[in-house]
Amino acid sequence: MDLRVVGVGFGRTGTNSLKLALEELLGGRCHHMHEVFERPEVIPLWTAAARGEDPDWDAIFAGDVATVDWPAAAFWRELVTANPDALVLLSMRESPEAWWSSASGTIFQIRGLDGLPPAVAEWLAVVEQLIRSHGIDLDDEEASKAAYLRHIEEVRATVEPGRLVEWSAGDGWGPLCAALGVPVPDQPFPHVNTTEEFRRNMGQA
């Protein structure tokens, strides 16, 4: 495993757009929850890690140059340590209220969907467990916003400033390109997986 960027931000902080942006800048694949569904062979590996077994990072991130989003964000401390030369990317929303509004209206709603294949439902239960392990209560806005802010402060207190890149939705290419030392692409920054798109794709719109 030799990740060049370790994303430590919670889901719904622009991580899908970041995935596409990092793939453009680094010329390789970025691990993301969507990637997990496209590579179901890594689900048992993540499930084992969630049970407390030693993670097989080499197998999980085989072929990846970066990672963002859940489930990797739940293991941010381990991944920051295991990739000492990687940039650490802390993605955020403009406020905890904006993050809660997006998360509670999208990923927190999946657990209530009927008719999911058993394997998918089982995997989503694992993801929910990992999310809750960070103090997030899917039914408690104030507790979840407090956990979101606490996570940001823990990252800032843990990662040395020279490695840490803070990025908020709307920042675009600038902070990423400056940190990676690459030119700004001559194209708009990706903007995908909005709340409306997410709900439409899940048949909730």
Domains, the chain, in order of start with CATH, read 5-201 (3.40.50.300)
pLDDT at 1 over 60: yes
Query: Which tokens go with 185?
Result: 């692409």
Please report, in angstroms and rounded to a whole number, the separation of the first and last CA atoms in the chain. 39
Tell the burial category of 1 from Cβ atoms under 10 Å away from its Cβ (0-12, 13-18, 19+): middle
Residues 116-137: tens digit of each pLDDT? 788 888 888 899 999 999 999 9
Give the Cα-Cα-Cα angle 78, 80, 81 (nearest 5 degrees): 65
Residues 11-55: tens digit of each pLDDT? 999 999 999 999 999 999 999 998 898 899 999 999 999 999 999
pLDDT at 90 over 50: yes
**Which of 56, 62, 96 is closest to 78 using CA atoms?**
56
Secondary structure element (H or E) that encloses residue 175, with its range:
helix 174-180
Give residues with Cβ within 8 angstroms of 84, minimum separation 6: none
Model's pTM, two decimal places? Answer: 0.90
pLDDT at 205 over 50: no
CB 80 within 8 A of CB 157: no
Q: In whole angstroms, what is the distance from residue 27 CA to residue 134 CA?
A: 31
CB 34 within 8 A of CB 15: no
Reduced to 3 states, what is the DSSP secondary structure of residue 87? Answer: strand
